[in-house]
């Protein structure tokens, strides 16, 4: 059986979705950024210094990774007095929930990735 060809509009819509998702998946393709998201998810907000300490990196490195997460909308900053507080956005929380479901599927199939399990947690 020959597959039905897609209309130009369907193809354009699929390309647009891929272009929208690509920067987010690229941002998530870093163990350090996943660790940052995990740290921030467990707190209401956190300073860059606290994030750096939690992940075992210097402030400059943590700040660079936070900037990438901020550009794709997973993290936001709020200036409070002399501090810059970081937090996961609602979109970031939904994306992390999806990552957790993916990790659960992967581990259920026996394709255990210890880094993903470390960051996202054991399946429930």
Rounded (5°) CA angle 11-95-16: 15
| H-helix or E-strand spanning residue 79 | strand 75-80
* pTM for this predicted structure: 0.76
Between residues 116 and 6, which one has the greater pLDDT?
6
List all residues 6 or more positions away from 79 whose beta carbon is below 8 Å from its beta carbon.
85
Between residues 68 and 105, which one has the greater pLDDT?
68
Q: Which domains occur in the chain, in start order? A: 12-120 (1.10.10.10)
Tokens of 27: 């941002």
pLDDT confidence tier of residue 108, bands split at 50, 70 and 90: low
Distance CA 58, CA 85 (A): 16
- Position 16 scores a pLDDT of 87
Distance CA 38, CA 55 (A): 10
pLDDT tens per residue across span 15-30: 888 888 889 999 999 9
């Amino acid at each position: 059986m020959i597959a039905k060809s897609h209309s130009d509009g369907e193809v354009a819509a699929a390309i647009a979705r891929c272009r929208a998702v690509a920067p987010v998946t690229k941002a998530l393709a870093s163990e350090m950024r996943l660790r940052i998201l995990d740290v921030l998810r467990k707190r209401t907000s956190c300073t860059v210094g606290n994030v750096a300490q939690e992940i075992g990196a210097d402030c400059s490195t943590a700040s660079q990774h936070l900037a990438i997460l901020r550009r794709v909308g997973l993290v936001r900053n709020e200036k409070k007095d002399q501090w810059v507080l970081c937090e996961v956005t609602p979109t970031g929380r939904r994306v992390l929930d999806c990552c957790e479901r993916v990790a659960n599927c992967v581990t259920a199939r026996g394709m255990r990735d210890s880094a993903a399990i470390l960051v996202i947690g054991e399946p429930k």
